[in-house]
């Protein structure tokens, strides 16, 4: 993937960094495509203890460069449950690399497809990577998408 980043499972010690990467990625990367209040509300939705809960309930993977977490993604079964790149590393392939790695895990596990709910700002990112919308925007403004034929 990009640079010399490595992928590893997230650990409890990563909680505050993961929370911070998520918050800043939303405020800095999603903001231009949505109203400020909407991005702020999305960013504020997850507390530190909510992040701890994600670590317990989801399979969270981080991309790490020289000991620093530069992005993370989470999966549960065949669902992508989150994907975030630290804004200072945006546009360098961190998100694409994490996504490809997580898709690979699902492929190994014999899931035929990946499902996700994309935020409006990330919709194009997923469309360009083989995903298609499966239905209208949800009440929360997300776009249900699927990528089939993983194999």
Binding site for ligand COA (CB under 6 A): 2, 25-26, 29-30, 83-85, 90-96, 118-119, 121-122, 125, 128
- Closest separation between CB of residue 18 and ligand COA, Å? 12
- Closest separation between CB of residue 148 and ligand COA, Å? 18
The single residue listed with the structure tokens 């990625």 is 25
- Closest separation between CB of residue 141 and ligand COA, Å? 11
Residue (128 or 140) nearer to ligand COA, CB: 128
Residue (91 or 112) nearer to ligand COA, CB: 91
Residue (111 or 120) nearer to ligand COA, CB: 120
Q: What is the CA radius of gyration of the chain?
A: 15
CA distances to 13, 40, 47 from 80, rounded to whole Å, are 22, 22, 20
Q: Which residues contact 5 (CB under 8 A, 6 or more apart)?
A: 63, 64, 65, 70, 94, 97
Residue (105 or 144) nearer to ligand COA, CB: 144
Cβ-proximal residue to ligand COA, closest one:
95
């Amino acid at each position: 993937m990009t640079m010399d980043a490595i992928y590893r499972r997230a650990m409890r010690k990563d909680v505050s960094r993961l929370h911070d990467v998520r918050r800043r990625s939303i405020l800095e990367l999603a903001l231009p495509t949505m109203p400020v209040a909407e991005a702020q509300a999305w960013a504020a939705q997850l507390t530190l203890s909510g992040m701890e809960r994600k670590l317990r309930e989801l399979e969270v993977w981080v991309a790490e460069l020289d000991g620093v977490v530069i992005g993370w993604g989470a999966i549960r079964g065949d669902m992508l449950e989150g994907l975030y790149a630290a804004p200072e590393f945006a546009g360098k392939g961190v998100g694409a690399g994490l996504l490809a790695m997580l898709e690979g895990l699902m492929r190994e596990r014999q899931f035929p497809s990946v499902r996700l709910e994309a935020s409006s700002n990330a919709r194009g990112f997923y469309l360009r990577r083989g995903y298609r919308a499966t239905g209208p925007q949800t009440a929360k403004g997300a776009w249900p998408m699927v990528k089939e034929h993983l194999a």
